[in-house]
Chains A and B, each alone.
Chain A
C-alpha cells in the first residue's frame, strides 16, 4: 500500500537527524504542537496558543505579519544586491546601472527591494494606526507600543539611508534636502549634520556612512527591537482583544453584580 505524503513527512520527523535538529520530535498531539513553538529558538518568541477570535482578519488586518514579510523580502533581496554594489562615488551609480542592464535579474532584484521598502514604510504606519484605533496600547502593552515607535523610526531611517545608495540625482538631492533639516537643530545642528554625512555636504563619505548604516547597523538594531516586540506580545497576554481584557471582564462582572443587586 502506497504511503501518503503526510506519512512520509511523519517518518521524516521521526528520523534521528530531524529530531536532532528540531527538538519537538514527532507526533501531532497538542503537546507536540505546543513544543514545536516552545522548543524553537525563533518561534518561542510567540505564544503556543492564540485566541481564536484574533485570527479574524478584521482584528489586525495582519498588518504586523505583513510588515515582517516586507522585512524578510528586503533582507532576501538586499543581500544579493550587496554583492553587485560598491559604496563609492561614482562607482555606486555605475553598479546600479549594471543592475538595471547587465546583471541577470538585477533589475527585478532592485525593483523588488525598492517597492518592498516603500511597502514596509506604508505598512508600519498602517500597523501603528490600526493598533492605536483598537486601543491595543493599553496596560500592560504600553512599553511594546513604545518599542513600536522605535521601530517606526528605525524603518524610516532604513528607508532613508537606502535612498542615497543608487547615487543618482534623485538620491543625492533627496538626502541633501533631508539632511539639511539636521542643521536646524539648535546649538549642535551643524555638528550633527557633519557627523551624519562625514562632511559639510553629501559626498563619498556620506555614501559610505549610509551604506554601513543601511546594511549593518540599522538592520541589526531593527532585528533586536523586532525580537523584543514579538516576545512582548506573548508576555503581555497575547494579541489585544478588547472583549478578553481583564479590565473589560472586571467591568462586565461588576455590571452583572449591580444588576443582580437591583434584582434583589
Chain B
C-alpha cells in the first residue's frame, strides 16, 4: 500500500464503463479508404447555364398560362353575404375537409401542428437514416405493431365516418401487407422494391396520399353546405 496510484489498470468486460478501441488492419485493406474521385464540373458556367435555362422554360410556361387564363376576380368583398360553400385556398382544402369531420381544435390546430412537428424531426431519427426495409428485421413483432396501428387508425376514422381518409388508409395498409409478404430475393422487381421500403417511406407516402385525396375532394367534390357534389353537376 506504499504507492497510491490514482488509477488502476485492468480489463473490464463492461464496454460502457471502460471503452476500448481496437483497430484491426488486415494485409489487404489500408486503414484509409480512398475511393476514386468523382467527376465534377465547374458551377460557372455549366450549372449556372442549366439553372437559367430551367428558369427560362418555367417563365415561358407561366407567361403562356398567364396569357391564356385569367386570374379569378369576383364581386366586391361583402361581409353580409356568405357564399356557399366558402372555400379556403386549394392548399388548405385538405385541412378544411378535415374540419368537416373533426372539431377545429383537432383538425385545425392539432393535426397541422403534428404534421409540421413530424416533418421537422424526420432527419433526427436513426431509423430514418438507416432506412432499412420495415419488415426485414424482427418481422413478427413489427407486423403486430403494424396490425395494431392500422386497425386502430381505421376504426378511429370509421367511428367519425371519415371515409375520405379511410379509403386511402386501407389501400396503404393493403400495400404494406403485400410488402410484409415480399422478400428482397423475390423474382418480381416490384416486390423487391416494396420489401426494401423503410418505415418513413410508408408514413410519408400515406401522408402524401391523404393530402392529395383530401385536397382533391375539397377542391372538386364539395358544394353547398360542404355536401358531396360531382364536378359535372355544377353549382
Contacts and interface: CB of A to CB of B under 8 A. Distances in A.
Interface in B93-107: 95-96, 99, 103-105
B104 A52 contact: no
Given A33-B42, A172-B78, A181-B99, A73 B59 contact: yes
B74 A170 contact: yes
- B-side interface mostly: helix
Contact-size category for B: 35 or more
Contacts, number: 210
A69 to B, nearest CB: 4
A168 B116 contact: no
Contacts of B96: 177
B29 A257 contact: yes
Interface of A, helix, strand, loop or mixed by DSSP: helix
Contacts of B235: none
- Tell which of B28, B103, B131 has the most Cβ of chain A within 10 Å: B28
Interface in B33-74: 33, 35, 38-48, 50-51, 54-55, 58-59, 62-63, 65-67, 69-74
B69 A115 contact: yes
B92 interface: yes
B73 A178 contact: no
A85 interface: no
A213 to B, nearest CB: 15
A48 B65 CA distance: 35
Given A53-B38, A93-B77, A169-B76, A160 B89 contact: yes
B89 A184 contact: no
A183 B201 CA distance: 34
B129 A169 contact: no
Contacts of B73: 96-97, 100, 166, 168, 170
Interface of B: 26, 28-29, 33, 35, 38-48, 50-51, 54-55, 58-59, 62-63, 65-67, 69-79, 81-83, 86-92, 95-96, 99, 103-105, 108-109, 116, 119-120, 122-124, 128-129, 131, 200-201, 204, 208
